[in-house]
Amino acid sequence: MKKSLLFTAFILVGFILNAQTWTQQNTNMSGTSTGVDQISAIDSNTVWINGFNGSGTTNRIKVFSHTLDGGLTWQSGTYNGFGATVFPYVLTGVTYNNAFAIAMDTATSIASFWKTTNGGLNWSLVTGVMNNGSTTFADAVLFWNSNVGFCMGDPVNNKFDIYYTNDGGTTWIPTLAANVSTPLSGEFGYNGYECASKFEGGRAAFVTNMGRVYKTSNYGVNWTVTTTAPFGTISTGKIYITGANTMIVAGMATGSTTYIWKHTTDGGATWLSYSPSGNFYTYAMTYVPNSENMLVSTGPYSTAKGVSYSTDGGANFIDFTDPLLQPTAGTNIQCLGVGFADATHGWVGNYSTYNSILKVVINLPSTADSIIGLQSVCQGQNSVSYTVPPIPNATSYIWTLPAGATGNSSSNSISVSFGNTANSGNITVKGHNIFGNGQSASLLIVVNPLPAGAGSITGNTSICQGQSGVTYLVPPILNATSYTWTLPVGATGSSSTDSIIVDYSVSSTSGNITVKGNNSCGNGSVSTLTIVVNPIPATPVISQNGNTLSSSAATGNHWYNSVSGNINNETAQTYIPQQIGNYFVIVTLNGCSSDSSNIIHFDNTGIQIITPSDNLIRIFPNPSNNFVSITVSTKNNANLSIFDITGKIIFNKEIQLSEATKTTFDFTHFAKGIYFVNYTTGNENIIKKMIIN
């Protein structure tokens, strides 16, 4: 591979374009054709890089460099301790002083595993790990952080030679055979810095010559083969794990010089051909740590050189167009290894007489500041405004809302409507630009519910005018703190609970009883019960013609004897008495009964119409729920009896009276309905209707 001498790009400048800043740094590696093919970015300050001979000759070199200040200064060195024919092909930094390398003896083809603990001044073989040349072949070493990492080599005793460490590589623990899927006959891994890949959360993977992919999700302790393989047998391969279940794999069939690319989004259950849009460069690629979906690819080839990025997980790539990358508009420089420490700081290797490396600082949107707006709202509340202070480097804003809330905005403010089914949850916002998203801010919103819809009202739906004390109930309404009742015209009652007692006046009319729940947020849906209010029939007048008694009411009559009460089956408009006595009639229509008619004394010899004096007896309250007071006014002894609508006497007593006397009766244990009070004294007989609700 031939270097490009880009003299116009050597000036140390910073240029901000499209939320990115590129600078060129001197790696201090010797040689005018030294290229940077591996970059191990540990954090925004600490980076290790590996150099190689980019002159196009077969001469190999053993140089590296590393930095502790983000690349402002680089300390280069050589791999001291390696034999004359031993050259590195993998370099992984752990800290500024600690790093690991995998090398191969070009004379014997034996691989070896090395480490440094003093910043590369000295390198030594890792004791007891992948360094038995007759049985092992080291392939890869990667670290998730300064303590936790893994290394792997070809199978030994029918198991891939895999180790993991929790102390920065001071000790290496071999994986158990039971924890690693068994290799196929003749299966081995490929050696190189892109033949294995790691991802956040302890995930890693490597590809084998059988076109299979081994993966771990617990920091190298267990390894399984994906359920399907992306390829058959391949002569070389490389892999990039880019998400919890996403991987991109390249495999080259034996005898071919062209990679075939595959990818999976389900952890390897299925593999699809990978052919992204835009300038996807195939020399090197990396997932940008802690980004959402960003990948960066590089290319040094004459037909495909430059550096591009994807912000959608690799579906589309776009060229970086900084003047350091395109000194002539539209003409890219050669770009080699690539490494990112985090979502902001990355490095791209290239060639130059200054042994330069390009550093990029991607200006992702800053972390969103606190969201301002109401934290307690109601279901059904609309147009609630939320704002966040402008986010540096953001070109747009991404808002998320609690379930059931709606609103849309790409600016730093949003108007939110909380539907009737909205739930409590977080409103979040984060800044966005072409490279990705910043860290979000959250505001917990308590969505106070409206009362639930009212259930069915229970209670008497057929009522008589004048009936009182009628109880109606509704099941407790969820989230209601009070209840609102409405009544038909002429009915009265008041309640803020789930029950109400209603009195119907003599002028009340049919209509609806409704109820709904209330709270501070509003009202729930209404429940309705239709009430039919039946009028009280007019008080009938009876007359006698011969032996026949007649009622003025055409229908609804029921004849009574003042002594025996209800006369069975006598409901016609006329009645012929069978014995001497006092007779009257009561009219009942639609369950509502009139007052008793006048009384006619029948004795077969003459007619005596008894007109009772109403002021001699008072019943209060009437209607009543339980207790009734009966007051009579007379100086004579009297008989006071109470009977029900069937004529059954439930009370009968001779009472010694003087002036006015009040007697109280308890109807708690009697059926609700119509009763009659019969008062007899001297030649007066008074019958009055009494209603017990």
Instruction: In whole angstroms, give the CA distance from residue 169 to residue 171.
Output: 5
Instruction: Say if strands 224-225 and 213-216 run parallel, antiparallel, or are unpaired.
Output: antiparallel
Paired tokens of 604: 């077969």
Instruction: In whole angstroms, give the CA distance from residue 246 to residue 266.
Output: 6
HSE, CB side, 13 Å, CA atoms: give it for residue 83.
14
pLDDT in the model for residue 2: 26
pLDDT in the model for residue 690: 80
Query: Which are the contacts of 86, defined by CB distance < 8 A and separation ≥ 6?
Result: 103, 104, 105, 106, 112
Question: Is residue 86 classed exposed, middle or buried when 0-12, 13-18 and 19+ CB atoms within 10 A define those classes?
Answer: buried
Instruction: In whole angstroms, give the CA distance from residue 449 to residue 524.
Output: 10
pLDDT in the model for residue 297: 97
pLDDT in the model for residue 454: 97
Question: Virtual CA dihedral for 244, 250, 253, 257, nearest 10 degrees?
Answer: -170
Hey, what CATH topology would domain 462-534 get? Immunoglobulin-like (2.60.40)
Domain 542-692, CATH: 2.60.40.3080
Instruction: In whole angstroms, give the CA distance from residue 171 to residue 366.
Output: 39
Closest CA to 602 of 646, 556, 558, 550: 550
pLDDT in the model for residue 565: 80
pLDDT along the chain (693 residues), means of 10: 27 43 91 89 97 84 96 95 94 98 95 97 96 93 98 97 98 97 97 93 97 98 98 96 95 93 97 97 95 92 93 94 89 94 94 77 92 96 97 96 97 97 97 88 96 96 93 96 97 97 95 97 95 94 92 94 83 91 91 89 61 66 78 73 75 69 78 78 72 77
For the chain, give every residue range classified as CATH 2.60.40.3080: 542-692
For the chain, give every residue range classified as CATH 2.60.40.10: 376-448, 462-534
Match domain 376-448 to its CATH number in 2.60.40.10, 3.40.50.1370, 3.20.20.70, 3.30.70.270.
2.60.40.10
Residue type, 333: I
Domain 7-362 part of CATH 3.30.1600.10: no
Which residues, in sequence order, are bridge partners of residue 662? 631
Instruction: In whole angstroms, give the CA distance from residue 289 to residue 295.
Output: 9
Closest CA to 586 of 556, 554, 545, 627: 556
- Sheet (strand 499-504) strand order: 470-473, 499-504, 491-492
Instruction: In whole angstroms, give the CA distance from residue 449 to residue 455.
Output: 17
Instruction: Say if strands 15-16 and 20-26 run parallel, antiparallel, or are unpaired.
Output: antiparallel
Residue 604 Cα distances to 245, 567, 600, angstroms: 108, 19, 12
